[in-house]
Copies of this chain bind each other. A is one copy, B any other.
């Protein structure tokens, strides 16, 4: 089976968490909207969201076609892939634990998006710049330490390795790598201070980055660079220390 990932072709966004898992799992997949001529991408996504012929239409990208299954929601896709490709624990309790951590990552990612779009996704950043400054300041002061402190604490409880659980990487580790990479891109000044207090998260970031398949992916054209259309955006005025 060849997986089909459907996600916006020009950003990392939430799709990137799925791409990282597909790459680490070393499975065959097509990033459907990025195939072929540019510009055609979004047109390949929309029919799934609206067509009457789709039995279980997803609410929004990313979604994954896996044979006859069409799976929506990032954490749901990762749970599916993780169980099938060795990126989740074998026991039910461990799987619930990793799913819960992934949902906490999802909460953090939603808050990152709010830093540049606190009023409405339908408005331009320029129309909510002042509010974004207030939102981002609180996010960096209160929320980033809370989230990263939580994960740092979990890592400190694992004597067996640099990952969240035991010695094996899970999809939640890949997602945490992406969060650290994204926050460092979006808020370089604030993160330069913050990471000093989160050495285990930095170590996890490095450990994921050095994994052969991830390293090959990051060096390939398949990895879309961070940019100001995605979730992690670098607006210097939001990066106050």
Contact = CB atoms under 8 A, between A and B. Distances in A.
20 contacts: A55-B157, A59-B107, A59-B150, A68-B93, A69-B93, A73-B99, A75-B103, A76-B96, A76-B100, A79-B96, A79-B99, A80-B96, A103-B106, A107-B110, A118-B135, A119-B138, A120-B139, A122-B138, A122-B142, A123-B138
Contacts of A147: 59
A226 interface: no
A161 interface: no
A104 interface: yes
Interface residues of A, number: 41
A116 to B, nearest CB: 13
Main secondary structure of the interface of A (DSSP, over half): helix
Interface of A: 55-59, 68-69, 71-73, 75-76, 79-80, 93, 96-97, 99-100, 103-104, 106-107, 110, 114, 118-120, 122-123, 131, 134-135, 138-139, 142, 147, 150, 153-154, 157
A135 B150 contact: no
Given A73-B103, A114-B114, A135 B122 contact: no
A139 B114 CA distance: 14
Query: What copy number does this chain have within its complex?
Result: 2
B104 A72 contact: yes
B138 A120 contact: yes
B100 A118 contact: no
A68 B114 CA distance: 36
A76 B58 contact: no
Given A68-B93, A76-B99, A119-B135, 7 more contacts: A71-B96, A72-B100, A75-B103, A76-B103, A114-B114, A118-B135, A131-B131
A118 to B, nearest CB: 5
Contacts of A59: 100, 104, 107, 147, 150
Given A110-B110, A114-B114, A150-B59, A100 B119 contact: no
A157 B52 CA distance: 9
